Structure 1
């Protein structure tokens, strides 16, 4: 199938009903509007999810996959940054209700596959719940992938918010919104010494707010960030996303392995 646009909202209703099929994959970018320190814009996670979803969907369509993109979801679960002016967030229940509504709406179209393309770590848990709920409630095939940015070795695994990887990606995507004069290392001394307690992937996770660490709401070291690294990270993600969409297109949980 070919189309002049991969933006679902740019189609008319009758055109959507004709062009989408049960094999169509619909991608919903999910971002946030939240504090990212003095060097990055509030819309960092939204920009990453939005821009990378455009590139990934276009690349997947160029490879022959039937992939479409919904407009991004901006206001999500960012309560860990509630202390910081400029953070606009909704609760987990509100986010789940919104995702249920979007899934219900998609179920009224011929498409049967929904992919969340997430740019914000605080959304991971609610999205995981939504995957199962939309599967159960509407019979949709549901998936999630994230714009994951790595930590630099100098960040001791703590570059999770406004650090080297995220800042590098933003220097590639929107350099006009990055303020290098405000780059500062924000790694709490001793936090990486705990063997069990940590962030995603640790055997013991903990509840936290972004002002718990004494670093102005940033966790990471953007001082070595650069646009060339961001360009590489973007290309790596697009390649991973296209491979993921290809697997999603033929995924069968009952067998028929890859």
Structure 2
């Protein structure tokens, strides 16, 4: 059996080796979370998915040789205040996480890195990540990019199952299937159920993935804290979902290595 390629890791390099990286090198930073995912998934779910996908994509991109890329150590603790009510959730305030991301960008600039790609595994980081993108661009001149493994259903993406009604956003079929593929030893499928807030379909404009978003906490929808339908999740679906996400991330890395903001010429 062939040995899978290893991802080039920033922390394994010496300082002179980092300084000698090509100018278009992409640093990839996985963003996970440590937060409740109901009674059937571990609190590490988002961290496991983000770091595993980022590592596989960086390894594959490096092997293809179309981009210089390095993998940064993933952030486990991020903005998870929508789950702050639950034991097991460890979260940073929005301003703490913003300062962390800004400080990482400043440090990368000192290291000669000019391109930073966030690989996000937790939907609660999305809005802040977009702000960080612009802040790092403005303050340090970095080319910054924010990628999801798949666009969350509550942000315009689709649930992995049609009968989740676009509400499989946390601990549902998609995430459970991914964890059955990546870490089946941590999944307790016997405790999985259907937790789809079908009453939201009564609203035309307001809701998950609709034109008007709303503020919510995960226990607004019930004490289990997950939103979606984890029944019927399976490792094969998770494997297909994971491989598709990794394939897309490889393409994103290669685009990020050559991306330039188009500048229009003066009339």
Could you tell me the TM-score, scaled by structure 2's length? 0.91
SS at match of 1:211: helix
Deviation, structure 1 residue 147: 1.6
1:60 matched to which residue of 2? Answer: 61
In the alignment, the residues of structure 2 paired with residue 4 and residue 60 of structure 1 have an alpha-carbon distance, to the nearest angstrom, of 10
Which of 164, 169, 182 aligns to 1:173? It is 182
2:22 matched to which residue of 1? Answer: 21
In the alignment, the residues of structure 1 paired with residue 55 and residue 132 of structure 2 have an alpha-carbon distance, to the nearest angstrom, of 23
Which of 168, 175, 182 aligns to 1:159? It is 168
1:140 matched to which residue of 2? Answer: 142
Deviation, structure 1 residue 118: 0.5
Superposed counterparts of 1:107-122, under 5 Å: 107-122=109-124
Superposed counterparts of 1:1-258, under 5 Å: 6-18=8-20, 20-64=21-65, 65-148=67-150, 150-151=158-159, 152-199=161-208, 201-214=209-222, 216-254=224-262
Cα-to-partner distance string for 1:95-141 (whole Å, 9 max, x where unaligned)? 00000000000001122100000000000011100000000100000
In the alignment, the residues of structure 1 paired with residue 142 and residue 198 of structure 2 have an alpha-carbon distance, to the nearest angstrom, of 45
- Contact conserved, 1:188 with 1:215, CA < 8 A, in 2? no
Long gaps (5+) in structure 2: 153-157
- Contact conserved, 1:75 with 1:90, CA < 8 A, in 2? yes
2:155 matched to which residue of 1? Answer: none
Deviation, structure 1 residue 193: 2.6
In the alignment, the residues of structure 1 paired with residue 253 and residue 198 of structure 2 have an alpha-carbon distance, to the nearest angstrom, of 40
Give the aligned length: 252
- The farther-off stretch of 76-85 and 237-246 is 237-246
SS at match of 1:55: helix
Deviation, structure 1 residue 192: 2.3
Long gaps (5+) in structure 1: none
Deviation, structure 1 residue 5: 5.3
SS at match of 2:210: coil
Deviation, structure 1 residue 29: 0.5
Cα-to-partner distance string for 1:129-169 (whole Å, 9 max, x where unaligned)? 00000001000000010122651111011100000011001
In the alignment, the residues of structure 2 paired with residue 241 and residue 4 of structure 1 have an alpha-carbon distance, to the nearest angstrom, of 16
Task: Give the 4+ runs in structure 1 shifted more than 6 A.
Answer: none
Deviation, structure 1 residue 215: 5.2
In the alignment, the residues of structure 2 paired with residue 159 and residue 59 of structure 1 have an alpha-carbon distance, to the nearest angstrom, of 29
Could you tell me the TM-score, scaled by structure 1's length? 0.94
Deviation, structure 1 residue 4: 7.1
Cα-to-partner distance string for 1:33-55 (whole Å, 9 max, x where unaligned)? 00100100001000011100000
CA 1:5–1:13: 2 relative to 1, 3 Å? farther
In the alignment, the residues of structure 2 paired with residue 35 and residue 125 of structure 1 have an alpha-carbon distance, to the nearest angstrom, of 20
- Contact conserved, 1:186 with 1:215, CA < 8 A, in 2? no
